[in-house]
Amino acid sequence: MMNFSELSVISAFVMVFCGLWKFIGYYKHLLNSLLSLEFMMLGVFWLLSMQVTVMGGEVYFSLFFLTLSACEGALGLSLLVMIVRSHGNDRFSSFNLLEC
């Protein structure tokens, strides 16, 4: 029988791998890619916070990681807004690398 900590670690790894599978498999829209990246970051944050609490370390490192992932999300959303305004949609097939 598994205890709660082992089940939490397994579910965090499942979150990371499901996000990675979604990121690799479904790349038609930029928004889907950004959401899968955020899902992976949430799984990594969960693993990091569990590891810090088990080792008895400081929680500030996990808060720093959470701050950086929030900044990454804001940067991704601003990129999404810029692409939708310039191209009209967020499909990867409509992007032309030769346009300015």
Q: Say if residues 80 and 34 touch (Cβ distance below 8 Å).
A: yes
Residue 39's pLDDT band, with cuts at 50, 70 and 90, is very high
Work out the average pLDDT over 15-39. Answer: 88
* The pLDDT of residue 98 is above 90: no
For residues 65-83, average pLDDT: 90
What's the pLDDT tens digit per position in 46-68?
Answer: 988 888 888 877 778 888 888 99
For 86, the token pair is 């310039």
DSSP states of 64-80: HHHHHHHHHHHHHHHHH
SS3 3: coil
Domains and CATH numbers, the chain: 4-94 (1.10.287.3510)
- Please report where in the chains the tokens 């690799």 appear, as a residue: 24
Tokens 């790349």 appear where?
27
